[in-house]
């Protein structure tokens, strides 16, 4: 299926800094080159996202693995396959494993996440599903995070939710721009052949509609 907006061909880009960033996406992922090749139609949009992703997701004041779990929680909620089939290489180096992604929609009842991770995921759930933000939610957040961390996690969830809701409308796919690397791809999605087989499997995650919890606390 063709993308709804064309990819900007990197061969046509003259800006060396933009080419360098696209090469970083090719080598490191999150984001992969395809989404940035869409944003490259408007250089200000390209750099706005690249800089925000660097400063808020890859670095910042809150633990990166917390933000990575929130990112995939959003993917599973809004069914953004492009984002949901990526994994942060930084998180993998910090100890996050594939099994840590599997219970995200049912995080409250899962034994895989600690109270701190569950508080952040409840925050992501509240923002993503427009749930009431009551005193219990805020008590959980303040028990585990500083105010700067709460600001950054909330901002990050809002940014990634908006981007993912947009990207899922575009029909973009991996291994279509600067192809040939498997950087940041989830297991089963490292090549186009693997991706095609994984998406055809009856238990492929995006075939199941997600539902929010009734309460965020």
Residue 183 falls within a domain, yes or no?
Answer: yes
Intervals of the chain under pLDDT 50: 215
Q: What does the alpha-carbon distance between residue 40 and residue 31 come to, in Å, rounded to a whole number?
A: 13
Q: Is residue 26 part of a domain?
A: no
Q: How many domains does the chain have?
A: 1
Put simply, whether the predicted model's pTM sits higher than 0.75 gets the answer yes
What CATH number is associated with residue 153? 1.20.1290.10
Q: Give the pLDDT confidence score for residue 214 in this predicted structure.
A: 55
> What domain range includes position 190?
62-203
The pLDDT assigned to 28 comes to: 93
Cβ-proximal residues to 89 (8 Å cutoff; 6+ apart), any chain: 28, 29, 30, 183, 184
């Amino acid at each position: 299926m063709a993308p709804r907006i064309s990819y900007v061909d990197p061969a046509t880009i003259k800006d060396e800094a933009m080419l360098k960033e696209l090469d970083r996406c090719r080598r490191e992922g999150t984001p992969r080159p395809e989404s940035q090749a869409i944003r490259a139609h408007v250089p200000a949009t390209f750099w706005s996202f690249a800089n925000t992703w660097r400063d808020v997701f890859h670095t910042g004041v809150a633990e990166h693995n917390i933000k990575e779990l929130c990112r995939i929680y959003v993917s599973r909620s809004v069914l953004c396959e492009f984002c949901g089939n990526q994994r942060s290489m930084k998180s993998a180096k910090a100890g996050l494993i594939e099994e840590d992604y599997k219970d995200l929609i049912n995080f409250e009842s899962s034994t895989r996440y600690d109270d701190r991770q569950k508080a952040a995921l409840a925050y992501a759930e509240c923002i993503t599903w427009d749930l009431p933000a009551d005193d219990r939610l805020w008590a959980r957040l303040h028990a585990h995070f500083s105010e700067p961390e709460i600001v950054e996690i909330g901002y990050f969830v809002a940014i990634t939710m908006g981007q993912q809701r947009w990207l899922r409308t575009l029909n973009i796919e991996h291994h279509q721009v600067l192809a040939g690397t498997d950087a940041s791809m989830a297991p089963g999605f490292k090549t186009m052949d693997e991706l095609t087989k994984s998406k055809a499997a009856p238990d492929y995650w995006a075939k199941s509609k997600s539902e929010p919890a009734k309460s965020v606390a």
